Structure 1
Amino acid sequence: MSDVIPANYDMAIIGSGGGAFAAAIRATALGKRVLMIERGTVGGTCVNTGCIPSKALLAASEARHIALDASRFPGIDASAGPVDMEALIGGKRDLVAAMRTGKYVDLITDYDWDLRNGDATFAGTAEDPLLSISAPDGSVETVRADHYLVATGSAPWAPPIAGLPGVGYLTSTTLMELDEVPESLLVLGGGYVALEQAQLFARLGSQVTVLVRSRLASQEEPEAARALMGVFADEGIRVIRRSTVSSVRRDESTGDVIAEVTGSGGKENIQASQLLVATGRRPVTAGLNLDAVGVRVGDRGQIEVSDLLTSTNPRIWAAGDVTGHRAFVYVAASHGALVVENAFSDAGRSVDYRHLPRVMFTSPAVAAVGMTDQEANAAGISCECRVLPLEYVPRALVNRDTRGFIKVVANSQTGLIVGLTAVAKDAGEIAAAGVYILEAGLTVDQVAAMWSPYLTMAEGIKIACQSYRTDVSKLSCCAI
């Protein structure tokens, strides 16, 4: 039996991740009545299977690596034993549960919006859209709202490789639930997830091989790929570039995965005890019945949205990964808040990604903001770039780790900084500083003349800008 509720919700939100919560918090602050529908675990990808658990495990693996690499400091000798994977994963689960409760579940009570557990499907018509909510107990509820927000996120995607469905491959979600460190791990993919997980498990003790179609971190500066190749080589991670996988199978005698690979060196079979497929994600829109209410989706399942984040139905909005935009939780959260302002305050705000920072939490990390050299040239900007090796950054010398660089992309006519990339420890903080530099419209000369605290990695931005006018190899360690 269906229970029809008139339009007594101002907004009904499908999903409970970062975008959904940002929208619900902003809408309730405006006095709107909000309904949130979640078919699984509250919190979405970031807290449950994405940012929080992966970075927690990365931090743990780095702690082990620091112990094993301590000899780079004269007089320091340390060691690390085998990893108790069950304890490590148990600690990760405890952290996730605590953050899910404190940062998500408890907020629903604090802000006082309604939560339903169940599958949401659009019903009605484009002119009068409804939501049908099927609860786990079999009951069905029909909801009408003035506005609807789809914030259902994305899920791991696997390419069509012969034999892949039957080998029991791992995704970024299932990999972080293993109860033991695999002896060997084959990783398909060269993006953020693939590279973070490859280094994570190499540092926990796995023998790791990475297969990439072009180069590592292919959307970033080519210098970043070269730096990561060196880091991975130092840590025993094999990378096969320009590779394709034609088929995979399980060896009946060993249980290992065997992949038939064609790379730059020819064909070979690569064997590993586990296979991680990290070749991207796809928006979760299947089963929402979006066609019935006039919402158009793209070829990857993404909801097509305007700059204001409205779909092809003006009462149905989308936020976060489901839009096919950059898959960062802070993008989703910004989307959620923007949707509410546009829906209820007629703000007319559009999404602006010009100075969006991006971070890959390898070690050293890769981070960037603004345009790459190639993107700037494609936009018609005549560029002048400087790549500062970390050997010129005092903080890196003190850390005894000069692997990496800081690159500045500037307009050759005006000196305006349009892009910044770093491969370094704490590179994310460098990118955060870069956001403020780009937002303020600063030039290389202005940054070169500004204050910067000595023995910070961010000081490297100033030094990189000084390199436009000065031979920085001839500066004293704390010269301004």
Structure 2
Amino acid sequence: MTHLKITGMTCDSCAVHVKDALEKVPGVRSAVVSYPKGTAQIAAEPGTSPDALTGAVAGLGYRAMLAEAPPAEKRGSLLDKAFGWLGRGEKSAGEGCGLRIAVIGSGGAAMAAALKAVEQGAEVTLIERGTIGGTCVNVGCVPSKIMIRAAHIAHLRRASPFDGGIQATPPAILRERLLAQQQGRVDELRHAKYEGILASTPAITVLRGEACFQNGHTLSVRLAEGGEREVAFDRCLIATGASPAVPPIPGLKDTPYWTSNEALASNILPKRLAVIGSSVVAVELAQAFARLGSQVTILARSTLFFREDPAIGEAVTAAFRVEDITVLEHTQASQVAYANGEFVLTTGHGEIRADQLLIATGRAPNTRELALEAAGVTVNAQGAIVIDNGMRTTAQHIYAAGDCTDQPQFVYVAAAAGTRAAINMTGGDAALDLSAVPAVVFTDPQVATVGYSEAEAHHDGIETDSRLLTLDNVPRALANFDTRGFIKLVAEAGSDRLIGVQAVAPEAGELIQTAALAIRARMTVQELADHLFPYLTMVEGLKLAAQTFAKDVTQLSCCAG
């Protein structure tokens, strides 16, 4: 009797498929396969190839290895033969094993997981309490980048480095029309990438309502049209995203403040806009509103981008002040009041008055209404679900992905996590490597980072060697007459291996992926410096920055290798 240890099976029907495949191997008389035990017992003719047995299992997408026989087994017993004869009479249950997967949410992580699970043969029930598509397409990435782009065009018509030869014309901003254009594209993408796909995928059942756990294998869904429904599952993915966090400032909750959701959907451009926040959403929307005509004041409790390399915050702050955006560093509102259409913010530096107030102090995971304790799912102090690199929670058979977890809050991370969660829920073994995640902030100049900053490396005990190249050394920036910003490379001391890049540049988002690939490939700065980069491009700045580790680039000719 030959014994195999099999991983990847997710149900009894999977075991039937494995049994059928094994019994087709020449020399195999019978096979007994157990899904709960993850084993196969094979009665075969002498000389039957073990590689043929493991190969037959691998051909189905599972993993198999030879295992020792259980101590109590009596080889060749009548009981073994009986099991083999009985097993021959079982019939296949069809592709995909009929695994029931519940997905809570419909954003990037949820959709990626649902589609991958269906591809793996599962039946999916997707539950959404709000608008299909989640944050990114509806109230996040897509509408914000449309607004930012429109504001950029307005800014260029008002002022550019070429105004000496191209007459500037202050634009008339028709916010209602811009908003209609923005919302039209949002609706188009939501239908094409979410609603239409769900409607055309029969293996996905969509329930509109709010889900919470009854236990580790059952959800209760309060349906939007009324009533409740129980959803039993073999596996579940939590992908409920996050919502704008609101700080407990006295008086704030009694005012008509904006979060990013209201700011992006408003057809009004306030004359005076105050922004509380100092990171991605705060700075992106602050600059967009300023370029569309608002007088903007940012209140930062520390500095802009205080968690990043200090050079980033300094460069963005300088660029904002040139555009008459007021940046108040080390400033917090201790009280907010609203009367007669005006906000009054009390700070340690006096009162700030504005027609509208935008709160952009981060996003909080949407986990409080899920009754996670009923399923044994653990969250951290911020309410984010704790997961491993396979997206498994602390509860068996329950996974999580996206902004509701303790992973970086980027939609591309969420989608990648959702795909890997689905692979693992259907018997695979996939992990998400977050060692080189590129990030972009769509200000002007843009901010882009990947890997370690110097401070992060030192925190982890890594000695560094770093270089910062200002953009007045980059030919593309000189040709654009726009040398705002820098490119900084962080290398591991001794090995000179590139471990981090920070950039502030008008097209920083277009160069950071090259940096991410270089880090993932474990390149040294010299190897990066030796590569060919097209001239004139902003990404050539990476090569030039790498060359500064060994040369004075101010003494090089153009495109010098």
TM-score range, shorter chain: over 0.9
Q: Which residue of 2 aligns with 1:305?
A: 387
Counterparts of 1:70-469 in structure 2, within 5 Å, are 70=160, 72-112=162-202, 113-123=204-214, 125-126=215-216, 129-252=217-340, 255-262=341-348, 267-347=349-429, 349-469=430-550
Other structure's SS at 2:233 match? strand
Contact 1:407–1:421, Cα closer than 8 Å, also in 2: yes
Provide the rounded CA distance (Å) in 2 between the counterparts of 1:200 and 1:475: 38
Instruction: Give, in angstroms, the shift of residue 9 of structure 1.
Output: 5.5
Instruction: Give, in angstroms, the shift of residue 345 of structure 1.
Output: 2.4
Contact 2:161–2:481, Cα closer than 8 Å, also in 1: no
Provide the rounded CA distance (Å) in 2 between the counterparts of 1:109 and 1:275: 39
Letter in 2 for 1:70: S
Provide the rounded CA distance (Å) in 2 between the counterparts of 1:181 and 1:163: 24
Provide the rounded CA distance (Å) in 2 between the counterparts of 1:47 and 1:326: 18
Counterparts of 1:1-40 in structure 2, within 5 Å, are 10-40=100-130
Instruction: Give, in angstroms, the shift of residue 297 of structure 1.
Output: 2.0
TM-score, with structure 2 as normaliser:
0.81
Count of residues paired in the alignment:
464
Answer with 1 or 2: which has the greater Rg.
Answer: 2
Instruction: Give, in angstroms, the shift of residue 177 of structure 1.
Output: 1.4
Contact 2:219–2:231, Cα closer than 8 Å, also in 1: yes
Letter in 2 for 1:184: R
Provide the rounded CA distance (Å) in 1 between the counterparts of 2:515 and 2:308: 15
Other structure's SS at 1:308 match? coil
> Which range moved further: 460-469 or 243-252?
243-252
Instruction: Give, in angstroms, the shift of residue 307 of structure 1.
Output: 2.8
Superimposed CA distance per residue, residues 201-231 of structure 1 (whole angstroms, 9 cap, x where no aligned partner): 0000000000111111122211111110110
Other structure's SS at 1:246 match? strand
Identity of aligned residues (%): 40
Instruction: Give, in angstroms, the shift of residue 12 of structure 1.
Output: 0.5
Instruction: Give, in angstroms, the shift of residue 478 of structure 1.
Output: 2.3
Contact 1:84–1:180, Cα closer than 8 Å, also in 2: no
Cα distance 1:150–1:117, how it changes in 2: closer, same or farther (>3 A)?
Answer: same
Counterparts of 1:58-77 in structure 2, within 5 Å, are 58-70=148-160, 72-77=162-167
Contact 2:157–2:171, Cα closer than 8 Å, also in 1: no
Other structure's SS at 1:275 match? strand
Provide the rounded CA distance (Å) in 2 between the counterparts of 1:319 and 1:429: 26
Contact 2:161–2:482, Cα closer than 8 Å, also in 1: no
Other structure's SS at 2:369 match? coil
Contact 2:273–2:294, Cα closer than 8 Å, also in 1: yes
Question: Cα RMSD between the aligned structures?
Answer: 1.4
Q: Which runs of 5+ in 2 are unaligned?
A: 1-96
Contact 1:16–1:38, Cα closer than 8 Å, also in 2: yes
> Which range moved further: 157-166 or 283-292?
283-292
Q: Which residue of 1 aligns with 2:9?
A: none
Superimposed CA distance per residue, residues 311-360 of structure 1 (whole angstroms, 9 cap, x where no aligned partner): 1211111110101321100111011011111121231x333211011110
Instruction: Give, in angstroms, the shift of residue 139 of structure 1.
Output: 2.4
> Which range moved further: 190-199 or 103-112?
103-112
Q: Which runs of 5+ in 1 are unaligned?
A: 1-6
Q: Which residue of 2 aligns with 1:4?
A: none
Provide the rounded CA distance (Å) in 1 between the counterparts of 2:268 and 2:199: 38
Contact 1:28–1:34, Cα closer than 8 Å, also in 2: yes
Letter in 1 for 2:176: E
Other structure's SS at 1:375 match? helix
Are residue 48 (structure 1) and residue 138 (structure 2) matched?
yes
Letter in 1 for 2:249: I
Letter in 2 for 1:119: E
> Which range moved further: 287-296 or 317-326?
287-296
Other structure's SS at 2:178 match? helix
Instruction: Give, in angstroms, the shift of residue 134 of structure 1.
Output: 1.8
Contact 1:8–1:144, Cα closer than 8 Å, also in 2: no
Provide the rounded CA distance (Å) in 2 between the counterparts of 1:216 and 1:84: 30
Q: Which residue of 2 aligns with 1:3?
A: none
Provide the rounded CA distance (Å) in 2 between the counterparts of 1:414 and 1:341: 36
Instruction: Give, in angstroms, the shift of residue 420 of structure 1.
Output: 0.5
